[in-house]
A = this chain, B = another copy of it.
Amino acid sequence: MQRIKVAQFGLGPIGIESIKLAAEKDWIEVVGGIDIDPAKVGKSLGELSNGHHRLAEVQVYKTFEELAAKAKPHVVLHTAGSKADVAINQIKPMAQQGVSVVSSCEELLVPKFRAPKLAEELDAICKKHDARVLGTGVNPGFVMDVLPVCMTGVSRTVEHIYCERVVNASTRRQPLQKKIGSGLDPDEMRRLFKEGKAGHAGFLESLALVGHAMNWTFADTYELFEPMIAPYDIKTRFFDVKKGQCCGIHQQVVGKVDGVQRVHMDLKMYLDARDPHDAVKITGDPPLEVRVNGGVAGDMATVASLINAIPRVLKAPPGVLMMTDIAVPAWR
């Protein structure tokens, strides 16, 4: 068996977790890391990841070009931000060398949604150089898009899709508790969301993916955001939230076709949330009600979804891919 050569672009916490998991797979050979941080460049992935022995000799480079000159990968794992345009510009040189990319960039779930022109350019590069690019993750990438779409595979008719996700942020890491605005003034949090500096990224992309799969062209889409307000003082390992302060987010998206609501997604991530879960309710024939007790945990599972996607991405035809273009998700 020839092992798949994999490199990691972006060595923040998620990138480190990603490459550590990759190092555990006997079908992967980790060939390098890429990060702009001068404190990381030149070190080994083993040093940065507190590490797996298979990462001890593997180098961190400043650019993809430097890495490719030394150790060209088959696939780059890209974990460097949420914005489609930024990500595509980072990915282009990889695709030009025929290197495929699996990215956690939320907006790459449906690249043409935010960056239609860049996505088209990247698609042409991929097809010319036999490369594939996929954006995936847990959310977006699975629980509120791929899972409901998958369930409709047994549907005679689908009238409406409702998804719900409740995350108990108290059990999660500091970055998530910060991201949901723990301890901020609720008005401050509303302002940050309006400025695109807070809130769950990629929610409209989940809606777009479901719409794409169902062949629904949404004339109208809506995104609603409200901070969750602490009903009492909440103390976590990382934050001290007073009654009345922000303790999380409540975000919704809705898609309508010809004036009729077809999709509604409801996401709550907040401290001290009871009964965390993911749920899908499909109105149609047959009606379907699915529930994931406890929900699918975020970051650690996102990293898994990237690694697991690699073999399916490499089997797909070249181009900019979406999760509904490649084979059914599966652990590898």
Binding site for B on A (CB under 8 A): 21, 138, 142, 146-147, 149-158, 213-215, 284-294, 296-297, 300-305, 308-309, 323-332
Q: Which of B157, B308, B327 contacts A326 (CB 8 A)?
A: B327
Distance, CA A293 to CA B280, complexed state (A): 11
Whether B293 lies near A150 (C-beta < 8 A) is no
Q: Which of B147, B288, B330 contacts A324 (CB 8 A)?
A: B330
| 15 further interface pairs, Cβ-Cβ under 8 Å (given A155-B308, A324-B330) | A138-B154, A152-B329, A152-B330, A153-B305, A153-B329, A154-B329, A155-B301, A155-B304, A156-B300, A156-B304, A213-B328, A284-B331, A285-B300, A288-B292, A289-B292
Whether A332 lies near B147 (C-beta < 8 A) is no
Residues on B with beta carbons closer than 8 Å to the beta carbon of A149 = 328-330
Sampled A-B contacts (6; CB under 8 Å): A146-B153, A150-B328, A154-B308, A290-B290, A323-B328, A326-B327
Distance, CA A290 to CA B215, complexed state (A): 27
Distance, CA A154 to CA B332, complexed state (A): 10
Whether A286 lies near B297 (C-beta < 8 A) is yes
Specify the chain B residue showing the minimal Cβ separation from A146.
B328
Distance, CA A153 to CA B331, complexed state (A): 5
Specify the chain B residue showing the minimal Cβ separation from A142.
B154
Distance, CA A327 to CA B325, complexed state (A): 6
Interface centre among A297, A300, A302, A304 (most CB of B within 10 A): A304
Residues on B with beta carbons closer than 8 Å to the beta carbon of A292 = 288-290
Q: Which of B157, B290, B325, B330 contacts A153 (CB 8 A)?
A: B330
A289 and B300 in contact (CB under 8 A), knowing A150-B150, A154-B142, A155-B331?
no
Distance, CA A138 to CA B152, complexed state (A): 11
Residues on B with beta carbons closer than 8 Å to the beta carbon of A287 = 294
Specify the chain B residue showing the minimal Cβ separation from A324.
B328
